[in-house]
Amino acid sequence: MMNTIASDSVFDVEEIRREAQSSIQQGAVTRDYPLDVKRACQILNEALASEILCVLRYRHHQVIAKGINFPQVAAEFKEHAESEESHMLEIAERISQLGGDPDMNPATIAQRSATEYGATDGDLVSMIREDLVSERIAIEVYRQMIEWFSADPTTRRMLEKILADEEDHATDLADLLETVDQHKPSMFNQ
């Protein structure tokens, strides 16, 4: 019965079964993985470094924004930090699933990241601007990565979901910037 199904199938099921049984230590990475898996992990490690840096920048901004009596902005930074942290974990898990090592080495994070940590002096407007610029960089980089991973639907879907989140962040920050800029005189006279 099984053989009949196999011979009628458009796939060579016997061959696929044989291959699946050999190299089982490679887990989810099968013979037909269409991309250069090393390069895939390297690209994902660059995304991982960017996400780690974004978590650090947003947490820094969250904490120092508190002193300026503007809880709405700190709450937004906190929400984004949590979102970036979940991206970080998703990407790290995918790298591991592909057989790579998720590189969280703090010594090289800044140089592997497309985005920057920033150099804010605690001014709300400049913090929001820094975050907005980073989100816009992330959006462009993720779009290119999605293109690169087009033959790997699992990674591509993950990146598409992350891209949608970054687009939301950028929209939120642009709105926030407008609000904060309007309130600027009263806020800084406190």
Q: Smallest gap, in angstroms, from Cβ of residue 41 to Fe ion?
A: 18
Q: How far is the CB of 152 from Fe ion (least distance, A)?
A: 19
Number of helices (H), then strands (E), belonging to the chain: the values are 7, 0
Residues 6+ away with beta carbon under 8 Å from 88:
48, 51, 52, 55
Tokens of 53: 């840096």
Of the pair 84, 131, the CB lying nearest Fe ion is at 84
Residue type, 87: H
Comparison of 84 and 103: residue with beta carbon closer to Fe ion: 84
> Which of residues 152 and 166 has its CB atom nearest to Fe ion in the complex?
166
Residue type, 185: P
Residue 36: HSE in the Cβ half-sphere, 13 Å Cα cutoff: 5
Residue closest to Fe ion, measured at CB: 87
Residues that bind Fe ion (CB under 5 A): 84, 87
The CB-of-52 to Fe ion minimum distance in angstroms stands at: 10
Question: Residue 169 or residue 177: which is nearer to Fe ion going by CB?
Answer: 169
